[in-house]
Amino acid sequence: GQQVMQIPQYQHVQEGEDFTTYCNSSTTLSNIQWYKQRPGGHPVFLIQLVKSGEVKKQKRLTFQFGEAKKNSSLHIIATQTTDVGTYFCAGQGGKLIFGQGTELSVKP
Amino acid sequence: DTGVSQDPRHKITKRGQNVTFRCDPISEHNRLYWYRQTLGQGPEFLTYFQNEAQLEKSRLLSDRFSAERPKGSFSTLEIQRTEQGDSAMYLCASSLSLREQYFGPGTRLTVT
């Protein structure tokens, strides 16, 4: 069945450093969505990418969708303590299949 | 507040008992999803509805699990003869077709 893999599983950074998480699907996706889950919270939608090669920015966050629509990345520049949480990618081919997430911790 | 509500927020039950959870989606959303999440893992898809029709059910889901969405509005997820391995957070989400999903706060199930 369809699988979505995400790396790294954990990332510890000093405040102000950059952060990147990568997502790979075993199959071509119709779209990919990114969610953030704060400790003790539920996933909250960040963005959806639909087109091959698409790049979208939200303030310090940059999201990319690969040309083959099988991989994606999230890059955060100059991390802040408010960025702490687990970032999930989710591939859509009918239903959403979530990756296992990248847990980001930021040391002030 | 995302507008998706779940009840109860916490449930402690003894092994072998049946439990039922309720999800109230955002009113105009036609799709409703159930997920299970354990510590350190992403949400695991269980099943989803479009309006009142259950369109897909995970092959990982045993026949002890059943879900309904009788009028295309709220949904219930029932687990019969609970086992300790069922302990997890059960998340409900809703969406308008294939657009972004809005998650509820979840029901944390503990099976003792």
The model's pLDDT over A12-65, given as tens digits with 9 standing for 90+, comes to 999 999 999 999 999 999 999 999 999 999 999 999 999 999 999 999 999 999
Please judge whether B101 and A95 are an interchain contact, meaning their C-beta atoms are less than 8 angstroms apart: no
Quick one: which of A29, A28, A11 has its CA closest to A87? A11
- By the 10 Å C-beta count (0-12 exposed, 13-18 middle, 19+ buried), B37 is classed as buried
List residues of B whose CB lies inside 8 A of any A CB. Answer: 2, 33, 35, 40-45, 48, 56, 59, 91, 93, 98-106
According to DSSP, the β-strands at B107-111 and B88-95 are antiparallel
Q: Tell whether the model's pLDDT for residue A6 goes beyond 90.
A: yes
Q: Tell whether the model's pLDDT for residue B1 goes beyond 60.
A: no
Please judge whether A98 and B43 are an interchain contact, meaning their C-beta atoms are less than 8 angstroms apart: yes
State the pLDDT confidence band at A76, using cuts at 50, 70 and 90: very high
CA dist list (Å): B92 to A14, A44, A76, B10, B44: 34, 12, 28, 14, 11
The whole-number average pLDDT for the span A101-108 is: 96
Nearest Cα of chain A lies from the Cα of B43 at a distance, in angstroms, of 6
CB atoms within 10 A of CB A51: 10
CB atoms within 10 A of CB A37: 19
Q: Tell whether the model's pLDDT for residue A69 goes beyond 70.
A: yes
- Name the strand (E) or helix (H) holding B67: strand B65-68
Q: Tell whether the model's pLDDT for residue B64 goes beyond 90.
A: yes
Q: Tell whether the model's pLDDT for residue B2 goes beyond 60.
A: no
Please judge whether A44 and B91 are an interchain contact, meaning their C-beta atoms are less than 8 angstroms apart: no
Please judge whether B41 and A100 are an interchain contact, meaning their C-beta atoms are less than 8 angstroms apart: yes
pLDDT of residue B96: 92
- By the 10 Å C-beta count (0-12 exposed, 13-18 middle, 19+ buried), A69 is classed as buried
CA within 13 Å, CB half, B7: 6
pLDDT of residue A2: 78
CA dist list (Å): A65 to A31, A53, B37: 9, 5, 26
Of A33, A95, A103, the CB nearest to B100: A33
Per the rule left: phi > 0, alpha: psi between -120 and 50, beta: everything else, A30 is alpha
**DSSP SS3 for B3:** coil
Q: Tell whether the model's pLDDT for residue B43 goes beyond 80.
A: yes
Q: How high does pLDDT run on average in chain B? A: 94
Q: Tell whether the model's pLDDT for residue B60 goes beyond 80.
A: no
Secondary-structure percent of chain A, ordered helix, strand, coil, rounded to 5: 5, 60, 40
